[in-house]
Amino acid sequence: MSQQPLIQIKDIGRKYVIGAETIHALKSVTLEINKGEFVALMGPSGSGKSTLMNILGCLDTPTRGEYILNGINVSDMSDDELAEVRNKEIGFVFQTFNLLPRSTSLDNVALPLVYAGYSKKKRDEMAQQALESVGLGNRVDHKPNELSGGQRQRVAVARALINNPSIILADEPTGNLDTKTSIEIMGLMEEIHSHGNTIILVTHEEDIAQHAHRIVRMRDGLIEDDYPNKDIKSVSPRLAALREKGTDFENI
Ligand SMILES: Nc1ncnc2c1ncn2[C@@H]1O[C@H](COP(=O)(O)OP(=O)(O)OP(=O)(O)O)[C@@H](O)[C@H]1O
Ligand SMILES: [Mg+2]
């Protein structure tokens, strides 16, 4: 396997010009993330976390600097090219779930597959399986307003996973959930990570960040701190037991 980082951003800047005012949402951010990492991105409101996530997810482009994703320089790509990279490489989970309100769980999860060109039958099969993998095999025909908050987020996670992306970007995925449901979602994130996925998760909550293996702190558009989490909290007893035994997580 190549040793090249999955994500390499070099001196990235993002400014917004509104009338006479220029806002430097990101001043200069340099970061490398390897395949299989589980990173929590923290920092005060307005520090640039979502701006950085949008760039990492190819939803936005920096005004300065370089972004190399999986060895490909995506900094200067057109919107169409970015959309293609996004579909292949990235799964998003948002605080507000972002599900289509009139569509069933199955249709919400199957949606990204439409762009990938699968037949309807194949899409439904894959979506059914993805919903089963997040424990919602019995909720495929429910619409978002017929599900609990945690179940909605599970649907969003299944949708994020459906294209088998290399990276899961989650911006405050537990921000609208109570403590118990947040822990369930973090258990799901841990399972996904244990299958080799790379996860980058924004959170305000120290408790939630403790599930990650690396913590990056931002302030005023800069990275203030970046360190391995020495005290990883695990909700999955199976994963905790494996960690006790020193199992290499990338290979299970
Ligand atoms: N589209 C935009 N136009 C102008 N300014 C913006 C835009 N998006 C973000 N900003 C500004 O950029 C800065 C960083 O915003 P960002 O959304 O990245 O913060 P954040 O760290 O995600 O905050 P929060 O924790 O509140 O979600 C803020 O000062 C914000 O006002
Ligand atoms: Mg934000």
| Distance in angstroms (rounded) separating the CA atoms of residues 91 and 71 | 19
Tell whether the model's pLDDT for residue 250 goes beyond 50. no
Ligand 1 centroid to Cα of residue 87, in Å, is: 24
Q: Beta-carbon neighbour count of residue 161 at 10 Å?
A: 21
Which pLDDT score, from 0 to 100, does residue 242 have?
A: 64
Which pLDDT score, from 0 to 100, does residue 251 have?
A: 42
Tell whether the model's pLDDT for residue 245 goes beyond 80. no
> In this prediction, what percent of the chain has a pLDDT beyond 70?
92
pLDDT digits (tens, 9 = 90+) for 191-242: 899 999 999 999 999 999 999 999 999 999 999 999 999 999 888 666 666 6
Asked if 128 and 158 count as a contact pair (C-beta separation under 8 A), the reply is no
Which pLDDT score, from 0 to 100, does residue 87 have?
A: 87
Q: Residue with the nearest Cα to atom 12 of ligand 1?
A: 25
Q: Residue 189 is encoded by which pair of tokens?
A: 């994130």
Nearest to 56 by CA among 171, 226, 189, 223: 171
Q: Residue with the nearest Cα to atom 13 of ligand 1?
A: 25
Tell whether the model's pLDDT for residue 16 goes beyond 90. yes
User: Could you give all domains of the chain from N- to C-terminal order, each with its CATH number?
Assistant: 36-49+79-251 (3.40.50.300)
Ligand 1 site: residues with CB under 6 angstroms? 16, 18, 23, 25, 43, 45-51
Q: Where are the alpha helices (DSSP H) in the chain?
A: 49-56, 79-89, 105-116, 120-133, 149-161, 179-194, 206-209, 237-244
Ligand 1 centroid to Cα of residue 46, in Å, is: 5
Q: Label residue 116 by pLDDT band (50, 70, 90).
A: confident
Ligand 2 centroid to Cα of residue 94, in Å, is: 10
| Average pLDDT of the residues of the chain | 92
pLDDT digits (tens, 9 = 90+) for 47-73: 999 999 999 999 999 999 999 999 999
What is this structure's pTM?
0.91
Asked if 178 and 190 count as a contact pair (C-beta separation under 8 A), the reply is no
| Distance in angstroms (rounded) separating the CA atoms of residues 160 and 153 | 10
Q: How do beta strands 7-18 and 21-33 pair?
A: antiparallel
Which pLDDT score, from 0 to 100, does residue 159 have?
A: 95
* Ligand at shortest distance from the CA of 49: 1
Which pLDDT score, from 0 to 100, does residue 148 have?
A: 95
Which pLDDT score, from 0 to 100, does residue 30 have?
A: 98
